[in-house]
């Protein structure tokens, strides 16, 4: 899988080099592939990005305490975005089920055939 386009942004926000971010991405991608058994799909991609953010935060945490600029915690952004996208999918699924049940209750003989 190719590196995500947000990788340079994450590197800048975390205060690490692009090379280190790419190295962490490769590690996160290989760990996600090992855990999911796949190299494609939404489960793999989600786990790879979540693992990347955790690795970046671990890397930042190992830096000396005398640095003046602290890097932001990034995993909450990813988790929030995932929750929001799942909510819209759940709403769509619930709407579909509502309309399906309403249609079946209006026309029970058409569904039984």
Q: What's the pLDDT at 110?
A: 60
pTM for the complete prediction? 0.54
Over residues 31-61, the pLDDT tens digits come to: 888 888 888 887 888 888 888 888 888 888 7
* b/e sequence 26-63, b meaning 16+ C-beta within 10 Å: eebbebbbeebeeeeeeebbebbbbbbbbbbeebbeee
């Amino acid at each position: 899988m190719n590196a995500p386009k947000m990788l340079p942004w994450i590197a800048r926000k975390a205060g690490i080099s692009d090379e280190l971010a790419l190295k962490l991405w490769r590690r996160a991608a290989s760990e996600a592939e090992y855990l999911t058994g796949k190299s494609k799909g939404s489960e793999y991609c989600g786990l790879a990005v979540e693992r990347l953010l955790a690795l970046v935060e671990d890397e930042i945490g190992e830096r000396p305490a005398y640095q003046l600029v602290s890097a932001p915690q990034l995993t909450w952004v990813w988790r929030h975005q995932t929750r929001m996208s799942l909510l819209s999918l759940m709403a769509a699924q619930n709407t579909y089920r509502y309309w399906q049940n309403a249609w079946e209750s209006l026309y029970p003989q058409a569904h039984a055939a």
